[in-house]
Each structure stands twice: as C-alpha cells, then as structure tokens.
Structure 1
C-alpha cells in the first residue's frame, strides 16, 4: 500500500500557541520522506561506605512492600476527572551508531577479572587493589577488546562485567552468605557510577537495588541522582519524555503501531461512528497529538466525537515502586493542551481521567461506554503488573475487557521472561531484570551519544525501578497471545500502513534496532542488538465465543 506524504505543516501558527503545540512531534510518524536528523530539542520551551554496618545478620524478606494510594482530582468543561475508590539522522542515507565515549570503556577492570586482586583481610574487610593499565605493544588492536565492541555487544554477555558481579551477589543473598555478599558489595561500590558507560551505570542501579533488599523492605533505594519520573518537575518531565521519544524508539514504535491500528479499525466502521479510546498506557499524552493530526486528514473526515478515557495508575507513595514509566510528577497534565490542539484540527475531543481506579475495577459503567461508539482498548506496558499465578488478575482483567465487546484491543508489552517471586527465586528474577535494564541502558548510551545529563539520569532512573518492583511479572509474547485467545480474542493482522510506517520510522534510529513481524502470532516485535525488547499486537473480539 502506498503512502501519501503529508504536506509540510506550518509551525508558525502552532508555536504561537505554546500551550499545546509542544505535544506535536517535529518528526511526524507519517511524514517519512523528511530528510535530516531527528530533532532532539525539547518541544516545550556522595554514597555511604557499603563495607561498614551494611548487612544485618538477619536477611529481610524480599517480598514485603507497603503501598499507599492518594486521591487526585481535576478539571472542567470537556475534561472530566473521576476519583474512583474500589468498594473492596539522516533518514534517506545511513543509520549511524554512536558508541560510548572512549574515556569510559565497558571493559571489566582487570582487578575484577583475576582472582587474588581483591584481597580479604583477617577481619573480613576487602581491599581492592588498583593497578596501572598495561602498556600496549605498538598500535595493534586486539580483536574483540575495543571499547566500542564491548559497548555494542548485546547478543552475548561477554564484556558485561556489571552482571558478573551483581548476579553472584544476588545468589549470595539468596543463600544467606553474608561474607560473600559483603565482598561483592565492596567491589561494586568501587566500580559503580551513575555516569560513564552502561556497565558502570548498571552496576550503580544494581547496587542500589541490592541495598534496598538488604536494608529494609520499606526503604526506597535512591540513586545518587535521586531521579525518576515522580521525583522531577512537570516541565522538565515533559521536555525529557518528548526528547526521549525522538532519540530512542523504545516507546515511539509501539505508539506508532497503536495509532495506525486505531485508524485501521476505524476505517472498517461507519464514517459517522464515534471513537472511544481506553488508554491504559505509559505515553503520558505524548502518543495522541499524532493520532489527532491523522484523524483530521482522514478520508471522509474525522469521527463526530473522539473520547479519550485515561486510566491513571493507582498512586504509590514509594517512588521506587510501581511499574516503570507509568507514573508522572505531581501537577503534570497534558489534557488542556491536547484539547486546545484538537480544537485547531476541528476534532471534537473529550477527555475523561480515572484516578485511583484499579484495572480490575473497570467496567462499561466506569468508563461510560455507550452503544454506537467504536471502543478501542490501548493497553501498553501496564498489564504485566497484574498477578498471573495463583491469583490470576491478568486473565480476570482480560475477561473484563472482553465483556465490554471492544472493536479492538491493542496490546504492547515487554517480551521477557517473568521475574516474580511466584515463578523464580530472587537471584534468578534479579538476573532477568538486570538483563532487561542492560538493554535499556545500552540503547540510551547510543541515543544520548554517551553524554551524561539530568534527562538521561531521570529516564534511566525510571527504568531502574524494574529492579525493585515486585510487580515485574513479564511474559513472553507467546504466553500473552495464548492468554488473549483463551479470554475470547482473535489475533488480527497488523495493517500494511502500520508495519511499513513503523519500519520507515525505525530507520531514523540507530541501526542496532530491528523490527520483525511474527506471522504465527501476528505481532510486531522490537529488538535491540538481536535481543527482544517488546511486542505490539492487535486483537478483535471473538463473537463466536460466549462472553466470559
């Protein structure tokens, strides 16, 4: 199917209305012929000594967390807020790689590779010897030893020295071997850093997570930067999120496929049907300006009414807990700007926000679903936080969605093995979470071109919540697809527009990113250096089955 290139949009009028123009990306998902680099400008202008008094003789439970929900409220006019409480580069040329700065390589220092260098004293303290680097013989390069090689080595764990320290430490915690735990913590403390290459940053986040488990189940592990989504200010959060989507496709590709799938479903409906989107995602509004732009230029005109129901995550006072990327800072709101932008595009938009409403409590009455509208559920990177073992909240929630008889369900999730305590022990789960975070940190090293910044620290600090969140109950896409089929959905083929558009968009990013379509499960999978990251899929209600 051929693509029509949109006419260039005049930004003069848009930027004079600063309140909403910043949500519309400067690089459109649908304008693939634009030449030049992705615009990265924002669109809206001391660790304690771990070797002393760190470990209690009685290792705490790793499973007890306390959460507190706090109500939120807003808004007026077409925007309604409910506080619900449950009764119980260059695109056309080449794709560039941006290796880490040569001053910071991802080599594991020799003192960690060789036994006997980290010496343990009679009193149990650990002395970490620092040796001068060996002199190189001439200018010869040893294959496989360059900084860029180890930094970009995502297919194997060679060169990923942080995990070679963090994983044995987690195993020692599992076994209750306090001396060995203390040894690894001291070495990690010597090597970890919130700046530098991906290994050093992974060691830093991993060290904070291990301290979390060792100290107290109720004490939040705070990185040296103390930064994540909930801890920053709204303006900086918005600027950073928009820029991150411009330089890293981690969420941009799933958002693009989701928007194209919504248009695909809508094209099969009557031209005058209203559109109702149930947003259970992590886009924080960034996803929707592009869809509004596409609806405004849709053949036959836009729907008479577009309703957006946003299900905010249940509040959690523990900023290091919760699903990564779902939270936002206090005071952040995209609604008024999005409504203003929709008005300029002649889109009749209504936004409803559900606060403190658990996903299991959703119902047609809560979301105010009505007959004659096309209901589309957009669930992105939130459902893996639902329990799936003895208490199968995940399946029960999908049954609730099935009972609403939506025209389509867009499911985007991490394509990873589960790391919850019901499936694996602490050490195994921690190792899987480290593997996830490595891919993220490695990709951000390239996206930010090795430069340290407060923005990168905040984005990575949010991703690092995966190391401490007991709700990281991921599943592989095959398991998700089977679960969807069991609950009354049929996999739908992603449209040509969705696939071709996502591939064209992906070409604007680093060449280590790949997207493949699984014909069996009709999913589009995103991977970094050959390793799976996420998948996006489209599902239709199977009316041949009875409502669960």
Structure 2
C-alpha cells in the first residue's frame, strides 16, 4: 500500500467530516459493524473505523479526485490508508480495494497529478488476477455458493425443460468457462429414456474478465467431449467468437443462419446465461452509435439498448428455455458517487463471506480478493467501453425479459430442494428465498444473486 511518513497538510473540509456519524447516508446504506445477530462484528479503528464512515470518506475522496482537489484527496487518502490495511478485517479490506481503485482512476483520468505520481510510485497497488487451470477453477468455484447456486438451479430447470428431446442445443453464455456443464452431463446421462445428443455452443473468451482460464476453448471443448464420452453421452462442441460489447451480434447471426439452413425440428434450444449478460452495454443505441455501428439489422431505434435488442433476438430464435442468473446489484449509474455507494454496499458480501471458507494468507484467498479488486477497479476507475461491470438488479432484468415477450416460469420442487441441499454444505449465513417465480441467494439476509427461468410468451 501507499506509504505516508507523515500526514499531508490538513484540508479545512476534513475537519468537517468528523465525527462520521454526522455525514449524510445513502438510502441503501445500513450499519454493518454488526451485520447479523450472532456473528462477530468488524473491529472499529478509532472514530473512522465504522463501515459507513469509510464509505463517506471514499465518497468525499471520489469527489475530490474528480474536482481535481489534490490537497483534500491526499488528506483523505492518508486517513483511509491508515484505517484500511489490505490485511485487515472484511470492511477494511473492502475499503482498501476502493482506495486502490480511486488512485487508479486518478491515474487514468489524469486528474490530481500528485496522485497519479503516487500511483506510479506504488507498484504494489496492482493486483494480478490469477489464470486458473481447469482443476483449480473447478475447486475454486466449489468453495462458495456464489456460482454453485446458479449452476444448481439452472441445471434442474434445464433437465425438466429438455425431457423427451433427442437433441439438446445449449448456448452457454457463462463467465465461468463451462464449469456448469459437467454436472449437467452427469444428470443427462442418467435420463431414463437414454441421453440425448448435446450440442454445446460457447462464445470465445474475448474479454479479460475474471475468473480467467489458462486454457484455450478448443482444448476445453476436447476435455468436455471426452468427459461426455466417458458418460456415454454424445456431444458436439462449437466456439463462435463473439463479444458482449456489441450484444453478441455474431453469435445471434450464426444461430439464425443455422436455424434457416438446418432447421430445429426435434431439437431443444437452451440459452444459459450465467453472470454474463451484464457485460452487454446498457446504454441506448443513440449513445452507443456515437462510436459503433448498430450490429442488429432488424431494429435500429436509437431509444433501444443493446441489452433489449439482444433479448429480442433471443426471443426470435424461439428457445425452449432461457436461464438468466446474475448478481443482484446496480452498477449502471453514470454518476461515480452513485456507483461507488452501490458497489460498496454490495461488495462487502464477498469480503465478508471469504472469512468463512478461506484462511488468511492462503493463495486461494489472494486469488479471490484479487478478482474482487478487479471488479471494484472496473466499476470505479473506468468509464465508457472499458467499464464492463454493469450489473442490474433482478427487477430490471425481469422487466427486460417481459418486454422481450418472455414469460417467467417457476423452478420446480426438485430444483429448490437441490439448491437447499447445496447450501447446507456451506456456512450458516447463506440462505435461499423465493420471489414469485424466481430464486434468490442471500447472505445474512441480503440479496446476493438471482436465478430466473423463461419461455416464449
């Protein structure tokens, strides 16, 4: 971290920020020194050690950086550096991640030249994300329900939807490099009427978004086909290079051509979206077209977003089922402070949970928190096309799906039972709740992620 031998000159505004309890709080804020009865609280560090106070300091620092007030920014950074060590408790490590991101923002935007120089001088601000082997990634994902929740719910819904089909075509739009598929193959292999042929289509990993895989998708496909063969399941694997930045336009185009040329009679089309769709830009085409041409030909309305057009394109393919799993937060605001508040009040969860399954100093914990720091930096330090972490809450995705003429369906009792059994393998803070047709993963009562299932209306 940054090293300050002595505090920088005091800024008048800093005196107005103590005690932090007098600072305004955001609507979605809550006091996190004791997040759940029966769980240990975070250690306070003086009058600034409270999580809400740390958030307010970060907000003031962000405003100072964007207004090029180097004196105030450096003063606040000095305070944050002393109350948020990278090896502290969960709130301190969370704040440290945001501290790094704010310095990175100053370096990227060129504001606060003093801070830019500071970022260059402190090379240990950088967090290198790990490239996983297949075994490492599988074991890493099994440590927490963060992804397993979506895998379990989705696989149960898919199995029910494809019953009776002799061919199942799965479009796997997943940030976890097909880690969901082996379990699905295992389940399909045990189908009473015999396993279908599985056609698995994936998009090439074109963006360097964690978790990263130290393996080409061609090699990944070979391993998956070998695994399927060992379970007596026929499988075809196809990679279509396509990017979220244009709404996976090349994927949609090739799927349309495939339907025209080969048809889809007797084939179940499954669209499995696991924490991937939030990388599609949510701005309207009127904004995007300033730098890119519209990749979709059937509708070029400047009031539509690429997300809307992508979902409408999926609907035109008449899929058997669409699974949409993602994190339940909102990182879409164009206002930095709004994004910072939203991210701070959501990303405390992975920092809080890690204490339950990874010991301090372990390499897996370093990888886990490096990925979190990458996400924080992307939300805070980047703008434009470089800012790809654009989460939307479940309510907004539900409305998008309905507007695209999809109808939500409930997860069956088997799916709910399997998710509950999976959660029993993990710490007591994890929970499950149903919201209408949807399943929601919680940590200490706070929403983490959601799983939804859809069919054409």
TM-score greater than 0.5 by the shorter chain: yes
* RMSD, aligned α-carbons: 3.2
Give the structure-2-normalised TM-score. Answer: 0.77
Displacement of 1:119 after TM fit? Answer: 6.3
Tell me, in whole angstroms, the C-alpha distance in 1 between the residues paired with 2:81 and 2:353. Answer: 24
Partner of 1:276: 169
How many Å apart are 1:472 and its aligned residue? 2.5
Larger radius of gyration: 1
The Cα shift of 1:511 comes to 1.2
- For 1:144 and 1:374, the matched residues in 2 are separated by 48
Q: Is the 8 A contact 2:84 2:95 kept in 1?
A: yes
The match for 1:336 is 222
Report the alpha carbon displacement of residue 517 of structure 1 after superposing the two structures with TM: 0.8
Instruction: Determine whether 1:525 maps to 2:435.
Output: no
Quick check: 1:460 aligned with 2:369?
Answer: yes
The 1:224–1:241 alpha-carbon spacing in structure 2 relative to 1, beyond 3 Å, is farther
**Structure 1 length normalisation: TM-score?**
0.65
User: Unaligned 5+ residue runs, structure 2?
Assistant: 15-32, 111-115, 286-304, 379-386
Counterpart for residue 288 of structure 1: 181
**2:241–2:250: 8 Å Cα contact kept in structure 1?**
no
Identify which of 317, 335, 342 aligns with 1:432: 342
Residue deviations 1:226-268 (CA, integer Å, cap 9, x gap): 3314xx3x43xx344322322210000101111111101012x
| Mapped pair 1:418 → 2:310 | no
Aligned equivalent of 2:282, options 374, 385, 388: 388
Q: Which structure 2 residues correspond to residues 370-389 of structure 1 after superposition, within 5 A?
A: 370-372=263-265, 373-389=267-283
For 1:142-541, list aligned pairs within 5 A.
Answer: 149-151=40-42, 159=51, 162-217=54-109, 224=125, 226-229=127-130, 232=131, 234-235=132-133, 238-267=134-163, 270-271=164-165, 273-303=166-196, 305-316=197-208, 322=209, 324-325=210-211, 327-329=212-214, 331=216, 333-358=219-244, 359-363=248-252, 365-366=254-255, 368-369=258-259, 370-372=263-265, 373-391=267-285, 392-421=305-334, 425-448=335-358, 450-469=359-378, 470-519=387-436, 522-541=437-456
The Cα of 1:160 is off from its aligned counterpart by 5.8
TM-aligned CA distance change 1:123 to 1:161, over 3 Å: closer
Higher RCO, 1 or 2 (CA under 8 Å, sep at least 6)? 1
- Structure 1, residues 38-59: CA drift from partner, whole Å, max 9, x if none? xxxxxxxxx45479xxxxxxxx
Residue 346 of structure 2 aligns to a residue whose secondary structure is: helix
CA shift digits 1:132-191 (9 cap, x unpaired): xxxxxxxxxxx96999522499xxx95566434323322333444332211111122234
Report how many aligned residue pairs link the two structures: 388
In the alignment, structure 1 segments of 5+ residues that lack a partner are 1-46, 52-117, 127-142, 317-321, 543-548
